[in-house]
Structure 1
Amino acid sequence: MQNKNKTVVKSMKLLDLFRTNWKLSLNEIVELSGIPKTSVHRMLGSLEDMGLLHKDHEGKYTLGMLFLEFGQLVADRLDMRQLAYPMMKELRDEIGEAVNLTMIDNMEAIYIEKLDTLHPVRLYTKVGRRSPLYAGACSRIILAHLPESEIETYLKETELKPIGIGTITDKQKLRTVLQQSKLDGYTISYSELEDHTSSVAAPIFDYTNKVVGGLSIAGPDVRFPKEHVPHIIEKVKRTAAEISQKLGYSNQK
């Protein structure tokens, strides 16, 4: 903390509350943040002046429109997202299920692009959603391709909490799954992030041969019968490989 500006850190703590809360009053922000009310009031005023927060007629705060501008700038500058989009659309149109693209950020997976299924019943994964690396195919495939030392450090420091009915919470079982996923070049999850869902994912590599993301097809488990899974695996792996090639990856290096 000694090298960080405390006011900036506290301001970010306030903004972080809006990840999971759409609208908050001053008192709610004080209660959730644990920061003194006078300090919160002062910081909220500054954040509002800068356009980072907006206060409505009820005196409640929401994220300001400046975040929309910044968010679009970040999205536009993610080369992987731009390169992957046409191939993701082709994959979605061919298989008919939702296609998700994740990248690793601070030892979490963050969804940076998605294309919804063509079916009326769908999963509502949002761009910007984060998930732990141990849960869900599109997250776990990244973890599987990290260096062994990083995997072990992650497993030692991370509590495997159940999220869905199929979340892997046993570390030895997870190690086995990770090893097999790396050998196979894909992984499958069943009800790990949401109950009664299935997902197939393959890794994406950059020009340094480093894993940078994951590509998945996901949907309700009733639409993933066993006889169709091999075809889905083939298509996901093929598309992830094409994206990796566009990013400069070559398995000959």
Structure 2
Amino acid sequence: MSKSLRNSSTVRVLRILEEIAKSEEGIGVTELANRLELNKSTVYRFLATLEEEQYLEQQLTTKKYQSGIKLFELASRIVNQVDWTKDIRPFLVDLKDRVNETVHLGIIDDGEVVYIDKVECERSIRMYSRVGKRAPVYCTGVGKAILAFLSKEKQANIIENIDYTKFTASTIIDDSDLNKEIKIIRAQGFALDREEHESGVNCAAAPIFTHDGQVLGGISIAGPSSRVDEENLFELAAEVKETAQLISRRLGSL
């Protein structure tokens, strides 16, 4: 058996960085030492070095430590080096194989959804969506899933410029109903499209996030209402939400 080259000091530094990255409000020396079951003075020495190298920074008022500029720069470089659409396609294919319905990947561009990938199931029906096709944000699963998690400023800017069109009897056609829907989506972590854009097509969608917590896009499962009915729509919502979380972690999101 080959001898391990694992360095205990390096492992401790990595555990420190992981714990701090998980804490939104930052974390103090004592709490960090308790979590990692390390001597407080040992932890402080690591923290001091990481702060000096700008991988961490200490808040002036609380004295808690949080991620520094060097970590953000490093994470940004890694994300930029990855063709993220190719990187996550296996997740889309796996989701399609599990649920046997069509899976979409979309982003928001200029206030509209753009489908940038689509994995069709063997029993697919003819749908509006295709790669490169644009669609409204207010009545599509992917659109609503992304819109709900944008910053308030970006969200408001998109909503105030929506020119509502009633595609079906279920289409949302005013800001008030859309804002109510957004609150529900944020609470449950997924969006539903109950024949809002296409008659006879239901959809469940969830957002995906980047390493810095910004919503990047969304994925959806879509199928005919004869198969994707009210009962199994929520089952599919759980599946798409789980896959979206796996993709987000792959992209570095905590």
Q: Which of 232, 241, 245 in structure 1 is aligned with 2:245?
A: 241
Cα distance in 2 for partners of 1:220, 1:230 equals 15
Residues 101-250 of structure 1: matches in 2 within 5 Å? Answer: 101-119=105-123, 121-250=125-254
Deviation by residue 1:219-248 (Cα, 9 ceiling, x = unmatched): 111111233223211110010111111111
What secondary structure sits across from 2:104 in the alignment?
Answer: strand
Cα distance in 1 for partners of 2:160, 2:125 equals 38
Cα distance in 2 for partners of 1:78, 1:167 equals 37
The alpha-carbon distance between structure 1 residues 119 and 249, as it changes in their structure 2 partners (threshold 3 A), is: same
* Residue pair 1:122, 1:220 contacting (<8 A) in 2 also: no
- CA deviation after TM superposition for structure 1 residue 201, in Å: 0.1
Cα distance in 2 for partners of 1:81, 1:95 equals 21
Cα distance in 2 for partners of 1:161, 1:78 equals 37
Cα distance in 1 for partners of 2:124, 2:99 equals 15
- CA deviation after TM superposition for structure 1 residue 92, in Å: 0.5
- CA deviation after TM superposition for structure 1 residue 202, in Å: 0.3
Cα distance in 2 for partners of 1:78, 1:107 equals 25
What secondary structure sits across from 1:117 in the alignment?
Answer: coil
What secondary structure sits across from 2:150 in the alignment?
Answer: coil
What secondary structure sits across from 1:189 in the alignment?
Answer: strand
* Residue pair 2:100, 2:122 contacting (<8 A) in 1 also: yes
Amino acid at match of 1:89: V
* Residue pair 1:87, 1:239 contacting (<8 A) in 2 also: yes
**C-alpha root-mean-square deviation of aligned residues, in Å?**
1.7
The alpha-carbon distance between structure 1 residues 123 and 210, as it changes in their structure 2 partners (threshold 3 A), is: same
Cα distance in 2 for partners of 1:218, 1:121 equals 10
* Residue pair 1:123, 1:220 contacting (<8 A) in 2 also: no
Number of aligned residue pairs: give it.
174
Amino acid at match of 2:251: L
Identical counterparts, % of pairs: 31
What secondary structure sits across from 1:111 in the alignment?
Answer: strand
Amino acid at match of 1:189: D
Q: Which of 91, 94, 105 in structure 2 is aligned with 1:90?
A: 94
134-143 vs 155-164, greater mean Cα deviation: 155-164
Deviation by residue 1:195-218 (Cα, 9 ceiling, x = unmatched): 111000000101121001010000
The 4+ residue runs of structure 1 with deviation greater than 6 A are none
Deviation by residue 1:79-106 (Cα, 9 ceiling, x = unmatched): 2311221011111011000000001222
- CA deviation after TM superposition for structure 1 residue 178, in Å: 0.6
Amino acid at match of 2:210: D
Cα distance in 2 for partners of 1:186, 1:167 equals 18
What's 1:38 paired with?
none
Greater gyration radius:
2
What's 1:72 paired with?
none
